[in-house]
Every structure is written in C-alpha cells, then in structure tokens.
C-alpha cells in the first residue's frame, strides 16, 4: 500500500523540481560544523518556508544512513494514539520512500503499546515533511514510521525503552529522527524564554526534566511525547552528547512577533 502525500502543495511544494530546489537550498551546514554520525536528531515539522532552514541545518550536518526510524506526533484524533505502519511506501513528489518492514515488525512486536494503524498516519504531517530531506540525502533510505499522541509519561518511557532495545540490537546503523515543534502561538519573547527551558532539558538529555518543565511552564511542545521516547531510547543506546544546531521562531520568516511557533534543530550522539 502506498500512502499518498497529505500536505504537498501546502507545507512544501508539490512539484518535484521546486521541492528538490528548496530542500537543496536549506541543506546548508552551519558555520564550523562537519558532517558526522549521530544516533538521533530533533527537527521541526512546520511548513518548509518557516522551519525548513532549521531542519536543513540539522540534516546537512549528519550522515544519513540507509535506515531511519521517524518518531512523529499525533496531531489529529482519528486512529491509535501510538501508531506504527509496517508495510508499503510513502509517496512524496520526489518518489516513494519504502517502509522497512523488518524494522517496523521488530518494533511492533517489542512494544505492545504500538498499534498497526495506517489511518492514524494518513493525514499526519509531522513525519511526512521530514521524508524529502532524507530522500535528497540518501535516495535509497528505508524507514519505520511511529506517531505518538498524548500519553502518560510512563507509557512514553516504555515506548522509548523498547525502541532503544531494538535499535541497540541492530547491526546496521539506524538514525532516530524525532519530529517536534516547540512552543505555539504566544508572542516571540515569551516563546523564546519557554523554548529555552525545554532546550535546556533536551541538552541535559533528561526525559523526566523535559516532561515536567513542559507541564509546569505550560510549554506547548507538540512533540513532547516523541522527544521523551527519544531521550529514553538514547539512554539505552549510551548516547551522552547533545548539541543545538539552530533555533528560530516563525517570526524570523513572517516578521510578526505576536503569535509564533518555536523551532529547534538538535543532534544527539
């Protein structure tokens, strides 16, 4: 089964040439950074005109292997709150990205909370907008898609532990791509302060700290669940380093600081 693009023409160009040119424009390494192997990255998922430069700075600074696990958000209600798809391909204007059936099956079997549910993924944009970057950097890549809705901390930890165990047992390198925007729809100054508190916990690689600060400070980080699962998995994968590659808000593109969304691009190894 082929999942057709849900947000082509809105979040990114529906024309292959235009999309390829835009992705290539955004794949510009930050000054002083060299391309390196990492275990995971955190990238935003807004329309490319707003967050594409942040995502591109991250993707251009890392080696993209042939396999990826993409952890996204469940923005919309239909379907399971913890959804995986283990067969088929996802289509973008750049072609079809194949699901890695073997990897997805291992994850589904290892983690009982994950439900096979293509409906939950059919209109969700948080994973879809990352795929063109991966297609440009490694056209042969295959992936497993997981979308997590709002679930309890202990459930997120359980998912992260199972992900970590599966990835640790793999002989082939697998990139864990976590898709999240940060604070939503407050003014730019407030958003930058709130986002700084979330980024601090991400840099500390503290899953509990991130979860608690987002609750306490009312930071509307839409990918909090995926980020908690990622940080938990990274403990099992023995990652000990984190770096903020680029930060921005939508005001940097729109010029309107009254109600913005924050975007952070980070790597972990």
For 240-252, the pLDDT digits (tens) are 999 999 999 999 9
User: Cα separation of 148 and 260, whole Å?
Assistant: 23
Residue 268 near residue 39 (C-beta atoms within 8 A): yes
Q: Distances in Å between the alpha carbon of 74 and those of 12, 39, 90, 127, 224?
A: 19, 23, 17, 10, 11
For residues 264 and 75, which has the higher predicted lDDT (pLDDT)? 264
Of the pLDDT bands very low, low, confident and very high (cuts 50, 70, 90), residue 32 is: low
Phi-psi region at 205: left, alpha or beta (left = phi > 0; alpha = psi -120 to 50): left
User: Cα separation of 206 and 240, whole Å?
Assistant: 11
pLDDT in tens, 81-128: 999 999 999 999 999 999 999 999 999 999 999 999 999 999 999 999
Query: Average model confidence (pLDDT) for the chain?
Result: 96
pLDDT in tens, 151-209: 799 999 999 999 999 999 999 999 999 999 999 999 999 999 999 999 999 999 999 99
pTM over 0.85: yes
């Amino acid at each position: 089964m082929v999942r057709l693009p849900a947000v082509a023409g809105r979040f990114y160009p529906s024309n292959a040439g235009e999309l390829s040119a835009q992705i290539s424009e955004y794949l510009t390494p930050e000054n002083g950074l060299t391309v390196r192997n990492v275990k995971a990255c955190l990238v935003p998922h807004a329309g490319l005109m707003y967050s594409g430069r942040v995502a591109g700075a991250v993707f251009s600074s890392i080696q993209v292997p042939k396999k990826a696990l993409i952890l996204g958000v469940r923005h919309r209600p239909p379907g399971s709150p913890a959804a995986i798809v283990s067969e088929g391909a996802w289509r973008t204007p750049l072609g079809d990205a194949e699901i890695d059936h073997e990897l997805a099956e291992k994850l589904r079997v290892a983690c009982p909370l994950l439900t096979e549910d293509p409906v939950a993924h059919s209109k969700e944009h948080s994973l879809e907008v990352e795929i063109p970057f991966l297609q440009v950097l490694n056209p042969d890549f295959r992936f497993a898609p997981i979308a997590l809705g709002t679930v309890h901390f202990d459930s997120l930890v359980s998912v992260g532990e199972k992900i970590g165990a599966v990835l640790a047992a793999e002989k082939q390198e697998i990139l864990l791509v976590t898709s999240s925007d940060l604070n939503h729809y407050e003014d730019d100054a407030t958003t930058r302060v709130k986002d700084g508190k979330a980024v601090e916990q991400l840099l500390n690689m503290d899953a509990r700290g991130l979860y608690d600060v987002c609750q306490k400070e009312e930071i509307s980080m839409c990918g909090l669940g995926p980020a908690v699962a990622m940080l938990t998995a990274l403990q099992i994968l023995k990652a000990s380093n984190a770096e903020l590659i680029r930060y921005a808000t939508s005001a940097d593109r729109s010029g309107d600081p009254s109600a913005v969304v924050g975007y952070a691009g980070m790597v972990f190894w």
